[in-house]
């Protein structure tokens, strides 16, 4: 029997990059996977066809839409909140509406989705939130809002672990360093600078992050909660 046979999994933000690798991993392990997308409809439909999963349009910046999506899933076994954005540039020049939208997607959606999911999760339920090593370390200018949003997830996991623990539900944050995706291509202009901070001079692969998510979602991680799990080639070391 595959590790996630018949388990019900929802991935918020699964159409591309790390999220798509997570969808592939759970689907390959027998789970019934639903994932959301916002802008990448074609990629989402193609991934759904490839993996036998279900793609649904849900914008993580819309709280009511996120809550409705989680409720629709019923008794979820695993929730993965992967959707996240970055806004780059001098903090003095940034549009405050864009910054608020970042916090809705990166912080408020993970919080509300986690609480709503926990309402209906059985004992043994798992919640995984995609943070970033930038929650621990922000070595470049122009990304304060992103760093703040990822640091906030640490408090979210520590606090909700206490609320959900008595019901046997775990919640953890995965903190990647540079991972080769559309958002941070290894072939991009930041490569040399990012690798200069790292012990392993390469970007990580989305599949490597998906492996950590799968482990945290599986039976061996039953005693792991309220914790940050860094996978960054020692970017933050
Ligand atoms: P990508 O930009 O490659 O993919 C982002 C995914 O999130 C897409 O599937 C996108 O869907 C979805 N998404 C974005 N905004 C929304 C929204 N409003 N509603 C629903 N879905 C949305 O990013 P990565 O794969 O690189 O990153 C995934 C996560 O990992 C993020 O939380 C990011 O902060 C984190 N991370 C990434 C690192 C990296 O180096 N790549 C490093 C550390 C953390 P769609 O295209 O359909 O809108």
Q: If you classify domain 8-229 with CATH, what class do you get?
A: alpha beta
Residue nearest to atom 34 of ligand 1 (CA): 84
Instruction: Give tens-digit pLDDT for 50-95.
Output: 999 999 999 999 999 999 999 999 999 999 999 999 999 999 999 9
Domain ranges of the chain: 8-229
Number of H helices, E strands in the chain: 8, 7
Distance 13 CA to ligand 1 centre (A): 6
Q: Identify the residue whose C-alpha is closest to ligand 1 atom 10.
A: 13
Catalytic residue among 146, 164, 197, 235: 146
pLDDT per residue as tens digits for the range 165-207: 999 999 999 999 999 999 999 999 999 999 999 999 999 999 9
The first and second tokens of residue 204, run together, are 């990580």
Of residues 115, 26, 3, the one with CA closest to residue 70: 115
Which stretches of the chain are assigned E, i.e. beta strand?
A: 8-12, 32-37, 54-57, 78-81, 126-130, 170-176, 227-231
Backbone angles phi, psi at 58, to 5 degrees: -150, 115
Across the beta sheet with 170-176, the strand order is: 54-57, 32-37, 8-12, 78-81, 126-130, 170-176, 227-231
Whole-angstrom distance, CA of residue 44 vs CA of residue 53: 10
> Which of 44, 61, 105, 183 gets mutated to test ligand 1 (max ligand atoms within 8 A of its CB)?
183
Candidates 67, 82, 84: which one to mutate for ligand 1, based on the most atoms within 8 Å of Cβ?
84
Compute the 3-state secondary structure of the chain and give helix, strand, coil in percent, each to the nearest 5. 45, 15, 35
Write down the pLDDT at residue 77: 98
Model confidence at 147, pLDDT cuts 50, 70, 90, reads very high
Per-residue model confidence (pLDDT) at position 1: 77
Cα–Cα distance for residue pair 45/36, rounded to 1 Å = 10
CA of 170 to the centre of ligand 1 (A): 23
pLDDT tens, 4-40?
Answer: 999 999 999 999 999 999 999 999 999 999 999 999 9
Tell me whether residue 111 is one of the annotated catalytic residues.
no
For ligand 1, the distance from its centroid to the CA atom of residue 99, given in whole angstroms, is: 16
Contacts of 97 (CB under 8 A, 6+ apart): none
List pocket residues of ligand 1, CB cut-off 6 Å: 13-19, 36-40, 44, 59-61, 82-85, 105, 130, 132, 176, 178-179, 181-184
């Amino acid at each position: 029997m595959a590790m996630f046979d018949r388990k019900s999994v929802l991935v918020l933000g699964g159409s591309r990059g790390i999220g798509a690798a997570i969808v592939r991993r759970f689907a390959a392990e027998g789970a019934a996977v639903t994932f959301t997308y916002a802008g990448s409809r074609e990629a989402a439909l193609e991934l759904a066809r490839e993996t036998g999963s279900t793609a649904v349009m849900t914008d993580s910046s819309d709280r009511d839409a996120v809550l409705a999506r989680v409720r629709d899933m019923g008794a979820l076994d695993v929730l993965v909140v992967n959707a996240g954005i970055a806004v780059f540039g001098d903090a003095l020049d940034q549009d405050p509406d864009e910054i608020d939208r970042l916090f809705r997607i990166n912080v408020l959606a993970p919080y509300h989705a986690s609480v709503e999911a926990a309402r209906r999760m059985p004992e043994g339920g798992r919640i995984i939130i995609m943070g970033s090593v930038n929650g621990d370390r922000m070595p470049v200018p122009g990304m304060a809002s992103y760093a703040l949003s990822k640091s906030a997830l640490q408090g979210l996991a520590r606090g909700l672990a206490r609320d959900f623990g008595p019901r046997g539900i775990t919640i953890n944050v995965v903190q990647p360093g540079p991972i080769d995706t559309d958002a941070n291509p290894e072939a991009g202009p930041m490569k040399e600078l990012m690798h200069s901070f790292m012990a392993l001079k390469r970007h990580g692969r989305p599949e490597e992050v998906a492996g950590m998510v799968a482990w945290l979602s599986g039976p061996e991680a039953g005693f792991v909660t309220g914790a940050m799990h860094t996978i960054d080639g020692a970017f933050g070391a």
